[in-house]
Amino acid sequence: VYSSSEIAKFSFGSGYPTLRGSSYVGAACTNYRGAIVVDDLNIEKTATTAAHELLHLVGATHDGTEPYQHLPNHRGAMDCPDDKQHILSTTTNETMPPLSTCTRDQVVDFLKSKNGTCLLNIEPRKYPPLSEANLRNVLIDPSRHCRLLYKEHTSVQYIQNYSEAHNIQSCYLVCATINADGEKEHNVLPAPDYTPCGVPEDKKTKVCINQMCRNHPLTPKTIRERLQKHISSPYKVMMFTN
């Protein structure tokens, strides 16, 4: 386990205390296809950083930057301002912001070029897609998630049914904590995807997806299937990348 400053020293020779991740632009199909992400147990922030670094791997640079010379015909992102409104901003954002048009176009270019062919291979997968049939445990345990979000508190409790409007069946996660005055506080948050939300009477496993309680998807589409369906139009690819 390394701190952000240690990762920066290994990668760049000097430390950056605010470093959240590091990866190579356009390296998804090379020996440099890895990425480093700082995991501070804040799931939302870590997920945003992971998405940011993965977009670098598939050819996208920070908004507001010039084309990368080592990628043939790379268009860069000079037409998009560098601000927190989009995920490839140089400044961090704890929520999951959308892609800028520059990021979208760079990713589509990469996937349509020879640099991204490994992501579209047609070899059979070694393991079957994740489905309800082979899902043995829920992906998000709400009690554990509450403890991770409020790890600085000594007392953290997951409340399954806080109110008629805020409960897990409505895909709200309620975490009760004790403040400095000894009073209980109820923190209401959108439940992460794949948090169980059903009731015992349900015949199928129900989970939260986009803050809606629904049956667990039987067979999610693979990355290759989605790309092959939408690759002809960059505007459709946005549905996949968001």
The yes-or-no answer on residue 201 being catalytic is no
Contact 237, 104 (CB under 8 A): yes
Rounded CA-CA distance 123/220 in Å is 18
Radius of gyration of the chain (CA): 21
State the residue for tokens 């690759």.
231
Contact 16, 7 (CB under 8 A): no
Query: Which of 44, 53, 94, 201 is flagged as catalytic?
Result: 53
Rounded CA-CA distance 74/52 in Å is 18
**52 in a known ligand binding site:** yes
What is the token pair recorded at 26?
């356009």
Contact 197, 204 (CB under 8 A): no
Provide the CB-side half-sphere exposure for 74 (13 A, CA). Answer: 23
List active site positions.
53
| Residues that constitute the known binding site | 52, 56, 62
Q: Which residues does the annotation place in the binding site for Zn(2+)? A: 52, 56, 62
